[in-house]
Structure 1
Amino acid sequence: MMSEMNQRKIKILYVDDEEINLQAFRSTFKKIFDLFLAGSANEARKILTDHEVDIIIADQRMPSETGLNFFTSISSKYPEPIRILLTAYTDMHLVTEAVEKKLIYHYLTKPWDEAYFKNIIENAYESYFLRRQNKFLEKQLKEAREQLETLSKQIELS
């Protein structure tokens, strides 16, 4: 099961209104992750309609929409990807509330540490992968129970 997890690059959507941050993220992680970069929440929404991603990282402070507002707006349509908030400002009440409501998996402050950021991304992907694997196994279990019920009814009738 875990070998399946390591067979492909993690697909990340990174949303930040500052081009320098987008380029820094790209140059740091382009060799190890499959990256999609967006300069706004609306651009990120367009990417999400065309591409499946595992993790979405968004800057909190963007001019047209905050990262948390963006996450709130997409969470019902795209519940699967793990969401990470990136902020230079720490409003701990807001961040704590977002974590408690399971709106975000984790938050990081700017400037970010490359090794720590990579570790958070890998841990987030492990959580993403395990949740998907769990849903798959639950579906298989449900199907097996239904088959068992059908067989049981057939035995009762004979």
Structure 2
Amino acid sequence: MNERDLKSIKVVYVDDEMSNLTAFKSNFRRFYTVETFINPTEALEWLDENEAHVVISDQRMPVMQGTEFLGILYEKKPDIVRMLLTGYADIKAVIDAINVGHVFRYITKPWHEHDMRTAIESAYEMYRLKKENAELLRKLQRINEQLEFMYRQSILS
């Protein structure tokens, strides 16, 4: 992807530690459009009104766990690709991430810029392909309806 295409990727990062938010934004704002939130509730409110392609959430936060946040997001906006980030090896979090949050990827802290960029761009590609497939399915359904109409017309004639 070229720089202009990368900048069109909208990433939301949620973490209860301001230093992590600052580091993430300073590392990735030159590549992507980045929004950061210290509170998952505020992130959900923002996402109700704004578009995002990729959402990354820390797991352990005081307001709600990352898996809970991602599960709520999945119910509201299933097309957004979700990733869970944590510094703790917690098998329950991994299971919940898959079953509740429907995460695309589970990333451990500390993250490395190259690995995170690869994950974000892969997540965006997943988002883009899901949208493209949905549009192709709509077109196919319209064609099918037209063919059915033409078939019925030929029978009646």
Fold-level similarity (TM above 0.5): yes
Measured after TM superposition, the shift of residue 109 of structure 1 is 0.8
Structure 2 CA distance, aligned partners of 1:113 and 1:74? 25
Measured after TM superposition, the shift of residue 80 of structure 1 is 0.7
Provide closer, same or farther for how the CA distance between residues 144 and 134 of structure 1 changes in structure 2, counting only shifts above 3 A: same
Q: Which residue of the partner structure matches residue 39 of structure 2?
A: 40
- The amino acid that maps onto 2:52 is V
Matched-pair contact (CA < 8 Å) for 2:10–2:34: yes
Matched-pair contact (CA < 8 Å) for 2:85–2:108: yes
Structure 2 CA distance, aligned partners of 1:23 and 1:7? 20
Q: Which residue of the partner structure matches residue 154 of structure 1?
A: 153
Q: Size of the alignment, in residue pairs?
A: 155
Q: Which residue of the partner structure matches residue 19 of structure 1?
A: 18
TM-score (norm 2): 0.92
Measured after TM superposition, the shift of residue 15 of structure 1 is 0.4
Measured after TM superposition, the shift of residue 102 of structure 1 is 6.4
Provide closer, same or farther for how the CA distance between residues 64 and 101 of structure 1 changes in structure 2, counting only shifts above 3 A: closer
Over the aligned positions, Cα root-mean-square deviation in angstroms equals: 1.8
Runs of at least 4 residues off by over 6 Å: none
Q: Which residue of the partner structure matches residue 139 of structure 1?
A: 138
Once structures 1 and 2 are overlaid, which stretch shifts more, 96-105 or 8-17?
A: 96-105
Structure 2 CA distance, aligned partners of 1:143 and 1:34? 35
For the pair 1:55 / 2:27, whether they are aligned, the reply is no
For the pair 1:95 / 2:94, whether they are aligned, the reply is yes
**Percent identity of the aligned residues?**
38
SS state at 2:11 partner: strand
Q: Which residue of the partner structure matches residue 84 of structure 1?
A: 83
Give structure 2 stretches of 5+ with no counterpart: none
For the pair 1:126 / 2:125, whether they are aligned, the reply is yes
For the pair 1:115 / 2:114, whether they are aligned, the reply is yes
TM-score (norm 1): 0.91
Structure 1 CA distance, aligned partners of 2:102 and 2:152? 44
Provide closer, same or farther for how the CA distance between residues 124 and 36 of structure 1 changes in structure 2, counting only shifts above 3 A: same
Give structure 1 stretches of 5+ with no counterpart: none
